[in-house]
Amino acid sequence: MDLYEHQARQLFAEHGILVPRAEVTDAPGEAREIARRLGGRVVVKAQVKTGGRGKAGGVRFAADPAAAELTARQILGMDINGHTAGSVMLAQPVDVEDEFYVSYVLDRAAGRFLAIASAAGGVDIEEVAATRPGAVARVLVDPADGVTSAKAGEIAGAAGLPPQTADVLVRLWQVLVREDALLVEVNPLVRTRRGQILALDGKVTLDDNARFRQARWGADDARHDDGPEAAAAAKGLHYVKLDGEVGVIGNGAGLVMSTLDVVAGCGARPANFLDIGGGASPQVMADGLSVVLSDPAVTSVLVNVFGGITACDAVADGIVRALETVRLTKPLVVRLDGNNAALGRAVLERRAHPLVEQVPTMDGAAARAAELAITA
């Protein structure tokens, strides 16, 4: 469960991490009053559970309360990567001297958490890692030991962060452990001209298995959470939005993860992770297709299914029935293998939908979906 930025900042403040004063609203008129309370000049930030807000125009400065109201009016309702900005956060601006990046993320393969930190914050950390890999430090954290002051000093030293950031690193670990988080990230963590260390932005992902302990976040701003993740969750689907153009549907998390890698290896970018699980019923397929096709960035869709308990002919029947309720506007590439694969392929051949084509291998299907996406 991803939190909004203002929720992440609330958690940080509860654990003793300094954040600038800020308030949230969904009314432009109230934005004027908030800006007045905060001193006039503010930063207005769209509250959506996705990245790329700044590039999309969802983060802007406002010089006075009147400008804050106008800016809030312009941002509210904005579509940012398929998410509608239903609220904005107004925050006091900060005199920044230096910007840093810090995060903890679960490394499932290693069975530990990974601390990622860099003295080059405030920009896409992926870009920094790609162009200057030495500028990003990665330090494994044993969950049994946690982040002590000594461990925090090790992380800060490896990343070239100032010593006073070590206290923040300890407190961020407390956020992760006490709030059942799988990811905590601050970008940027800043040092002001007065020497204070503040978190200007925050991203927190909580473990869905701990929802019963984190109920206070479940319903907050639910009326604004209308992105594809929310639509998928309402249908019981496991969906994660990615920044690509090939929609991916598969049965089983491992198969879907492998499919993402193969698509990327073919020169295209996956648009999502969508696991329909073991039961690919007609309704599940219809729901999955509708969610994937709702993403305007998707230019082709790849369905990759290996029949096991659920036979491929049942999956194919589900696709056929789904096409009766979902208007297919993008090319759909289907790969069926495993239990009753030949029967499943025959079902799709009889339907002969003009936008549906079958490819027998996973590599070939991914290559075809990538080709269709790139040339669309």
Rounded to whole angstroms, the Cα distance separating 265 from 147 reads 36
Selecting among 154, 185, 229, 245, the annotated active-site residue is 185
Selecting among 4, 101, 104, 239, the annotated active-site residue is 101
Is 185 one of the annotated active-site residues of the chain? Answer: yes
Rounded to whole angstroms, the Cα distance separating 103 from 185 reads 4
First-to-last CA distance in the chain?
33
Q: How many residues does the chain have?
A: 376
Provide the token pair at 175.
Answer: 């956020």
Residues assigned a catalytic role: 101, 185
